[in-house]
Amino acid sequence: MALTLFRFHHGDFFEPSADLFFVNFLECHHTFWTQQRFAGSNVNSGFFFSESALVAAAESAHYGRFNLSEEDLEPTNRKGRFADRVWLTAEVEVGRILDLRRHETLLSFLLSRLPDNSGLKHGLSRTRAALDVLLLVLPEEEGGGFLTNWIGNRAHEDGYAGIAFPAIRCLSEYNQQFLKPLDESPLGYRFTLQDVRETRTNDEMDTAESVIQQLEREFNVVLFSVHRR
């Protein structure tokens, strides 16, 4: 599978030479022990990319603890708050990607792998509500949680090269005025995580479809380390 991905890579830990470029994405003690979404601590390493400059900026802004500005959305700007980062545009060829932007894929993955006595499996077998399923992989906690760890580990063991998943930091209410949709929403509106939860509760089908489109459109990809344990 051919993908074009984007990433702000910290300049202090970047090897620019073509012959040694691969070392930027080698598993090491730090990557293996760091808790990350779908790449749990002491489970498997992951390297994170975004589908656009806009999504990459939203992710970096969150972890840098600042809100986005117009200046920050120019990835070639070396004077902004990303001045210590190297902007990478990567053309990559990878194997199978587990696409969790689609609730059908996530539902099928969970139902086929969870033990029969799992309460979560029992609950999922009784629902087909897309947002109910997608919210499972949208915890606000940095680094995800137990379920995303489990999904990442199983996907890694099943031979997937990585996982595509909705960009939760693009749902931040603080960055909405700068996060323009990549194409126009049918409602002309950007959704926050609170909107996702309220839409699920209110069962507004037209709005739910627009929310799902936004979640599919703006996403991240975690690529697993090739070093398996």
pTM above 0.95, yes or no: no
Q: Which two tokens stand for residue 165?
A: 């998943």
Rounded mean pLDDT of 71-88? 65
Lowest-confidence range among 15-19, 61-65, 86-90, 115-119? 61-65
Q: Kindly report the number of other CB atoms within 10 A of residue 84's CB atom.
A: 11
Give one DSSP letter per residue of 139-176, joined into a string: -SSTT--HHHHHHHHHHHHTT-SEEEEE-GGGG-GGGT
Rounded mean pLDDT of 46-54? 88
Find the helix or strand (DSSP H, E) in which 87 lies: strand 85-93
Report pLDDT for 28. Answer: 77
**Domain chopping of the chain, boundaries:** 2-224
Using the structure block, give the residue that is written with the tokens 């959704």: 191
Report pLDDT for 69. Answer: 67
pLDDT digits (tens, 9 = 90+) for 187-207: 567 788 888 888 766 656 667
- DSSP-derived letter for residue 124 is H
pLDDT greater than 90 at residue 220? yes
Find the helix or strand (DSSP H, E) in which 197 lies: helix 193-202
Q: Which one-letter amino acid corresponds to residue 81?
A: R
Q: Kindly report the number of other CB atoms within 10 A of residue 92's CB atom.
A: 15
Ramachandran region, residue 189 (left: φ > 0; alpha: ψ -120 to 50; beta: rest): beta
Find the helix or strand (DSSP H, E) in which 194 lies: helix 193-202
Report pLDDT for 77. Answer: 57
pLDDT digits (tens, 9 = 90+) for 132-172: 888 888 877 788 888 999 999 999 999 999 999 999 888 88
As a whole-number percent, the residues of the chain with pLDDT over 70 amount to 78
Ramachandran region, residue 156 (left: φ > 0; alpha: ψ -120 to 50; beta: rest): alpha
Q: Which two tokens stand for residue 116?
A: 């029969």
Greater model confidence, 127 or 194: 194
Rounded mean pLDDT of 36-54? 87
Cα 171 off chain centre by: 12
Greater model confidence, 71 or 108: 108
Grade residue 25 by pLDDT with cuts at 50, 70 and 90. confident
Residues 6+ apart with CB under 8 A from 78: none
